[in-house]
Structure 1
Amino acid sequence: MPATCILALIVAGCAPLQIPAPAPVTPPVSSHVPISPECRAEGWTDAAVANAASLQTLAWSPFGRAETGWEIYAPLIQQRIGTTCPPHSEGFAAALATWQRANDLGGDGVLTEPVFLTLKGELQGLREFVRFTALGQCPETPDLITAARLEEGYSGKQVWLRPKALAAYRRMVEAARAETPEIAVDPRNLTIFSGYRSPAADAARCQADGNCDGIVRARCSAHRTGLAMDIYVGQAPGYGPDSSADPNRLVMTQTPTYRWLLANAGRFGFVNYPFEPWHWEWTGEPP
């Protein structure tokens, strides 16, 4: 049995990540992906045209910050509605319409902000932290956390998690590397750059950024539970692995690592905060 320790951590601040220069990455543009015969569906051409038009142009704020287009969220939407068809295809529109009907949202097969917000609500409802804080409470700092191995931290960073969450993370990483050679080839993939953070550490971070209780920083963070972890899934040139800039998030959502997590992390009890491709939370115990 791995050693555990009882820690009471008060952190005044966090040292910046040392980010190696990444290799250039150019994500595919979803609307240019060829449509295979199985993704053709009679009667859904108009919806497919509408989705293709809005994919990179929709003006919206699904997470409280203005964004343009929904290409970043396309892989997530595909996974939730149960299709591999590209977002500009008739097959995607037909699958979306089926999901819409199941959620009393009509069934026109067109992705709009209200449709996405319902899907987002589904995902947020899977996060134990969200359900807990919806009651107006912030989780207490856990008494028991354990240190991950240094090679499990991004660039050898020391991180801590609750023991069962760490064990689930290890099972997930072992499976990912065994099942997907593209993940195994880069040792940075799935390493953790942030695990448990004390309330003091999060307060220092949000004060330093001048953004407390906002989209990027929060006074009551899921990281204080010891169940949340920020995992390396890739990065765009010139950005860090936790940059919330849209070009960076777009590259992340096209990587084999993120795609594998979308399809498989639930097998190990992990769910994603959809705005941050790198942020995953274990649901196997209460916050």
Structure 2
Amino acid sequence: MPATAPGLAPKPALAPAPPPPPPAQARADCSAHGWEQAANINASSLRGLPWAPFRRPEFGWETYAPLIAREIATACAPDTPAFASAFAAWQKRQGAQPSGLVSEIDFTRLKGVLQTRRPFVLLSAQGVCPTPPDEAALVSSRPDEGYGAKQVLLRPAAMAAYRRMVEAARVASPEIAADPRYLSLFSGYRSPAADAARCAEEGNCNGVVRATCSAHRTGLAVDLYVGQADGFPPDSSADPNRLAMTKGPAYQWLVRNADRFGFVNYPFEPWHWEWTGEQP
């Protein structure tokens, strides 16, 4: 995509989507009269739905269940009647048939809402690839902040927001506080040249995982350690790895709280978050 001159990137033509509703409070009773059949169908499709929400075949929507639950304002499990009822209410607000059933069509609609909270996506939709920041103006992570003491660069305000978020997470979650790897940085700013080299090495440019114009060139995107499945590296996009991540305490906390610090998620990658406090 063509890059604009520094400081001249146009503002998105589309306003970012409204933020998600406040996180729902846990409830002991997740029943909902009349939604039992929908719950049974969701329980089956949760792990068995054949679909390709990000252009790659998958089975089931369990990996995306935490994001869906946050968006539809429920704390109930995805196979419960209360979840189906909440999903139906969300469908109705979107002008769709309120079936309560999670389908590829409805998830695509929900994914669209999530994606339009990412300013980088709004620019990309206009064919604009943001000009990278001056690398001399970026700040480096501390050794204790980088995964394996890796040095990661970010824009100063994004780094400050990241640090506030990590501090809050460790105060709120004993599980996160007990493992210093949780929410550590394993990627931040990457130059266009570095991304081009990764694309060439992995042979997957402009697919679901690698792009010639990556959000990491903005200095606003972070890849965070949110756990991993046995036998997988922390940034593997393999389905078992992504599912394991979304069940861990770090990702669960981020889904419920990251927006308070200005961070939004790329739904396909549980580890990838973007700070929205500055124009890309």
- Common topology (TM > 0.5): yes
Give 2:84's aligned amino acid: A
Indicate which of 74, 79, 82 corresponds to 1:91.
82
Give 1:55's aligned amino acid: L
Task: Please give the alpha-carbon distance, in whole angstroms, between the structure 2 residues aligned to 1:93 and 1:147.
Answer: 45
Counterpart of 1:180 in structure 2 is: 173
Indicate which of 240, 258, 278 corresponds to 2:271.
278
Give 1:173's aligned amino acid: V
TM-score w.r.t. the length of structure 2 is: 0.89
Task: Give the alignment of 1:59-208 within 5 angstroms.
Answer: 59-143=50-134, 144-208=137-201
1:42 aligns with 2:8: no
Counterpart of 2:43 in structure 1 is: 52
Task: Please give the alpha-carbon distance, in whole angstroms, between the structure 2 residues aligned to 1:249 and 1:210.
Answer: 21
Shift of 1:233: 0.4
Task: Please give the alpha-carbon distance, in whole angstroms, between the structure 2 residues aligned to 1:218 and 1:180.
Answer: 34
Q: Which runs of 5+ in 1 are unaligned?
A: 1-35
TM-score w.r.t. the length of structure 1 is: 0.87
Shift of 1:39: 0.6
Counterpart of 1:228 in structure 2 is: 221
Shift of 1:150: 1.6
Larger RCO (CA under 8 A, 6+ residues apart):
1
Deviations 1:31-87 (A, max 9, x none): xxxxx7621011011111110111111000000000001111111111110001111
Counterpart of 1:15 in structure 2 is: none
- Range that drifts further, 257-266 or 36-45: 36-45
Same amino acid, percent of matched pairs: 62
Shift of 1:146: 1.1
Give 1:125's aligned amino acid: T
Task: Please give the alpha-carbon distance, in whole angstroms, between the structure 1 residues aligned to 2:160 and 2:189.
Answer: 15
SS of 2:48's partner is coil
Give 1:250's aligned amino acid: L
Paired residues, what number? 252
Q: What CA RMSD, in Å, does the superposition of the two structures yield over aligned residues?
A: 0.8
SS of 2:167's partner is helix
Give 2:125's aligned amino acid: A
Counterpart of 1:255 in structure 2 is: 248
Q: Which runs of 5+ in 2 are unaligned?
A: 1-26
Task: Please give the alpha-carbon distance, in whole angstroms, between the structure 1 residues aligned to 2:264 and 2:47.
Answer: 26
